[in-house]
Homo-oligomer: A and B are copies of this chain.
Amino acid sequence: MNVGLSRKEHGGQREILPSLQARLDCRAGMATTTAGVAGGFVQGNLAILPEKLASAFHRFCQLNPKPCPIIGMSDVGDPRIPALGLDLDIRTDLPRYRVWRDGEVAEEPTDIMAHWRGDLVAFVIGCSYSFEEALMTDGLPIRHVERKLRVPMYRTNIACQRAGPFAGPMVVSMRPFRPADAIRAVLITSRFPAVHGAPVHLGHPHSIGIADIGKPDYGDPVPVEADEIPVFWACGVTPQAVISAAKLPFAVTHAPGMMLVTDLQNKQLAVL
């Protein structure tokens, strides 16, 4: 690992970006959630696949940009993604990984040095942390953040476009808002297409196959008050669910809540 070099590249220890510091901490063994780490910097979901499956997965993301917006991608066999951080090493810079074999989690290591191969391709996919920052900056309350819970997520009846072995339902995250705030949230998140963009649904959970809003498939339940409406965004858990369902011989993802912290800033993702 080239920690010393990275420090030099970034202009000495006093100028280390919070995002680089987070990656350095991961390299040094930090294995806790990245929620709240390096405020203002883009965090991403990770998917690593062998080259022969990577092109189909790339096409899956292309066909399903709302749940799977690619913000960075490695070359074949290259663990670096310089566009997301000059020193970034995808094998070591996340707190914890999931190694998948035949659709099951085989291991949850804190680095994947032992698993890296010359045929692997890494995809980094946008995450809702970025647009949540924009919502909070605007003064909108986010229930699960206020209550220190994980965002509730649901499998829907919205089918993703298939590509090779990759297929399945879109997973969505839900945040309840009062109606005027919901309208504002639509506008704000539409500025961030690289991190899921505008919502895909609001108001009628059953229309998208959610039988009980109180029982999310992932994350924690949060209440929706009588004067609120649930607003649903495409979620970066979708590609993980799809990879799991494809029962691939080998794949690597991040562990839940253990994201890649990049040197991109959330505000750089705004299109307007």
The interface of chain A, by Cβ under 8 A from chain B, is: 178-180, 182-183, 186-187, 190, 198-204, 207, 227, 229, 272
Contacts and interface: CB of A to CB of B under 8 A. Distances in A.
A202 B182 contact: yes
Contact of A204 (B186, B199, B227): B227
28 contacts: A178-B207, A179-B202, A179-B203, A179-B204, A179-B207, A180-B200, A180-B201, A182-B202, A182-B203, A183-B186, A183-B198, A183-B199, A183-B200, A183-B201, A186-B186, A186-B187, A187-B187, A187-B190, A187-B198, A202-B202, A202-B203, A202-B229, A203-B203, A203-B229, A204-B227, A204-B229, A207-B227, A272-B272
Contacts of A202: 179, 182-183, 202-203, 229
How often does this chain occur in the complex, in copies? Answer: 2
Contacts of A190: 187
The 6 closest A-B pairs by CB, nearest first: A203-B229, A186-B186, A179-B201, A203-B203, A207-B227, A179-B202
A41 B263 CA distance: 47
Nearest to A185: B186
Contacts of A199: 183
Contacts of A227: 204, 207
Contacts of A203: 179, 182, 202-203, 229
Contacts of A201: 179-180, 183
Contacts of A183: 186, 198-202
A190 B179 CA distance: 15
Nearest to A229: B203
Nearest to A158: B180
Contacts of A186: 183, 186-187
